[in-house]
């Protein structure tokens, strides 16, 4: 059984897959307490792998984003095998502090705390007002993104975006990732 906060269908709003139709399976629970986290962990329902499969099969996309919270705390080989056997491509958004089960097709790591993973497809570092340089935790990635941190203050957000923009101009190995879903108002 898996603690699931939400399952919903939308467009991926961040990183390399921005704009792609995706089914989001949001796991409840995390080993960190980030102040900018957008997941409420108190509410969840216990679902089996078959329950999850039943719910995601209601949507036409075959791209599933395992997110959280921290999905690596719950996602296991049985769930990965079940979803792959039913034709789903799996992406995982992780903080990198816990090992990831084999078989995930696309790994996005937003490193926080002590990371144990050393390679991912997409590295997404949060760029805050006080960021001098992003801490990539020595992770090797195919793509490197900086995402300005949304602090719910328009002026501070604008300053952070400007600093992030300038940083990327000076360090072109990074790309800008905006939270498109927040900009256009979708989940």
Average pLDDT per run of 10 along the chain, which is 187 residues long?
A: 96 93 94 67 90 98 95 97 98 96 97 93 93 92 94 90 95 89 64
Q: What is the pLDDT of residue 151?
A: 86
- How confident is the model at residue 61, as a pLDDT? 98
Residue 24 known to be catalytic: yes
For residue 160, which of 110, 126, 112 has the smallest C-alpha distance?
A: 126
To the query of whether residue 186 is one of the catalytic residues in this protein, the response is no
Peptide bond into 69 cis (omega under 30): yes
Q: Which of 27, 63, 70, 93 is catalytic?
A: 93
Q: Which of 30, 125, 149, 164 is catalytic?
A: 30
Active-site residue flag, 37: yes
Residue 39 pLDDT:
61
Active-site choice (18, 128, 150, 181): 181
**What pLDDT is recorded for position 71?**
96
Query: Can 125 be counted among the known catalytic residues?
Result: no
Would you give the DSSP letter of residue 17? G
pLDDT of residue 183: 61
Q: Considering the candidates 14, 24, 97, 109, report the single residue annotated as catalytic.
A: 24
Q: Quick one: pLDDT at residue 150?
A: 86
Give the CATH architecture of domain 2-184: Alpha-Beta Barrel (3.20)
Count of residues making up the chain: 187
The C-alpha atoms of residue 53 and residue 68 are separated, in whole angstroms, by 17
- Does the active-site annotation cover 59? no
100 in Cβ contact with 72 (< 8 Å): yes
pLDDT of the residue at 32: 74
pLDDT of residue 72: 97
Q: Model-level pTM?
A: 0.90
Residue 26's pLDDT is: 95
120 tagged catalytic: no
The single-letter DSSP state of residue 57 is T
């Amino acid at each position: 059984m898996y603690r699931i906060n939400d399952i919903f269908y939308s467009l991926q709003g961040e990183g390399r897959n921005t704009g792609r139709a995706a089914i989001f399976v949001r796991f409840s629970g995390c080993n960190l307490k980030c102040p900018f986290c957008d997941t409420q962990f108190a509410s969840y329902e216990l679902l089996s792998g078959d329950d999850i499969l039943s719910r995601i099969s209601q949507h036409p996309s075959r791209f599933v984003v395992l997110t959280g919270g921290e999905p690596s705390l719950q996602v296991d080989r049985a769930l990965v095998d079940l979803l792959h056997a039913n034709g789903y491509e799996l992406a995982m958004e992780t903080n990198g502090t816990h090992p990831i089960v084999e078989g995930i097709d696309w790994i996005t790591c937003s490193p926080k705390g002590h990371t144990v993973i050393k390679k991912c497809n997409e590295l997404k570092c949060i760029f805050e007002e006080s960021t001098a340089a992003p801490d990539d935790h020595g992770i090797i990635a195919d793509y490197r993104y900086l995402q300005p941190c949304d602090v719910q203050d328009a002026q501070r957000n604008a300053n952070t975006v400007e600093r992030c923009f300038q940083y990327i101009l000076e360090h072109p190995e990074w790309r800008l990732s905006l939270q498109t879903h927040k900009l256009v108002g979708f989940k």
